[in-house]
Amino acid sequence: MLGSGARAREAFFDLVYEPRRDGEGAVVGIQMIGVETTQVKHAQGLMLEHQVLLEQIARQALLGDVLDGMARCIESLTQNDVRVSVLLADPDGAHLRHGAAPSLPDFYNQAIDGIAAGEGIGSCGAAAHRRGPVIVTDIATDPFWDDFRELAGKAGLAACWSTPIVARDGRLLGTFAMYHGVPRVPQESDFALARVFTGTAALAIERHHVELAKAAAEARARAAHEALAEAVRVEQKLRAEAEERAAAAAELAAQMRAAAVAQADSPHPEQCQLGGRAGCTAPVELKVTDSWGDSAWGCFIHAEEALFNVPSVFLASEESKGLAAYRNR
Ligand SMILES: [Zn+2]
């Protein structure tokens, strides 16, 4: 550990010890050369973990799983007690939703879910608003945390560094935050970690958005296809009904022609009796009757109209003999 308190950091060194000799070859001292390898060590770990995340993204793993994995990876790469949170921006960029925070308590995640992006709304709301990093090294005294200080205290959080996650086109995608249990000032390696992982998170979130858009487009195409199929079904049904009606009309016309032939020799008036108040001067063609024995002679048009519109009307026919024949059976 180098340094102390808020500035303490873990460091790694390669140490080389060499004896110093005088002209006679006797050892007069030891030369020690230390080369710090912390960054190399971090970079190696980072590269391995990062590779795993990129493979997950390429495999189109669920966004929640990728972000969860990312959070756990950073927590394991960092020697200090760090807890990671990713919030996702609404499409309008005005609010932040829970994305991943596997090591933060549920009550904290629920309370943060839906916070506005705005100046002074914790580290994340401010980072989202500024589109730039917001480093709060001590939540207990930072005015940005006035509204969330008690909540953070309950969750055991003392510092929060937040970096916005931004798409290639500049859209806000979310925020990436590193929380600490004690007040802490970030080191250059922390910034490097944040840069790498906000880039990775941006990739994962943009990929997720593409998948959502694709799914929505597919759903729209399916809906359009179903609407078209329904329209075709309705059209077919209407055409079938129209064909049925046409067939029924043709059958009735044939029956009317046959009845007219059969009734031609019966005595009848000259003019249609079914023209109503307006009257009809067309010559009589056939006789219609109803079940009460009322009957009238009419032209084809008015006889047909009566057959359609009066439920009890039918074509008069001597051939069917009628009720008298039945009574006298
Ligand atoms: Zn008529």
271-322 pLDDT, tens digit per residue, is 999 998 988 999 999 999 988 888 999 999 999 999 888 888 888 877 766 6
Burial grade of 247 (CB within 10 A; 0-12, 13-18, 19 or more): exposed
Measured CA to CA, the distance from residue 167 to residue 38 in angstroms comes to 31
Could you give the angle at which helices 188-263 and 300-309 cross, rounded to 10 degrees? 120
- Determine the distance separating the centroid of ligand 1 and the alpha carbon of 247, expressed in angstroms: 24
State the pLDDT at residue 49. Answer: 83
Q: Mean pLDDT score of the chain, rounded to an integer?
A: 89
Confidence of residue 17 (pLDDT cuts 50, 70, 90): very high
What distance in angstroms lies between residue 313's CA and the mean position of ligand 1's atoms? 16
CA 6 – ligand 1 centroid, Å: 108
pLDDT higher at 39 or 152: 152
Rounded to the nearest angstrom, the distance between the alpha carbon of 267 and the centre of ligand 1 is: 17
pLDDT of residue 271: 92
Biggest alpha carbon–alpha carbon distance for the chain: 159
How close is the Cα of 301 to the center of ligand 1, in Å? 6
Percent of the chain with pLDDT over 70: 99
Burial of residue 85 (CB within 10 Å: 0-12, 13-18, 19+) is buried
Neighbours of ion ligand 1 (CB under 5 A): 272, 275, 280, 282, 299, 302
* One-letter identity of residue 266: S
* Tokens 């009890």 -> residue: 312
Centre of ligand 1 from the C-alpha of residue 290, in Å: 18
CATH homologous superfamily for 38-215?
Answer: GAF domain (3.30.450.40)
- Amino acid found at 246: A
What is the Å distance from ligand 1's center to 317 Cα? 19
pLDDT in tens, 137-177: 999 999 999 999 999 999 999 999 999 999 988 899 999 99
Chain segment 81-95, per-residue pLDDT in tens: 899 999 999 988 899
Of residues 43 and 64, more confidently modeled: 64
Which ranges in the chain are annotated with CATH 3.30.450.40? Answer: 38-215
- DSSP label of 284: P
Ligand 1 midpoint to CA 282 (Å)? 5
Q: pTM for this structure? A: 0.62
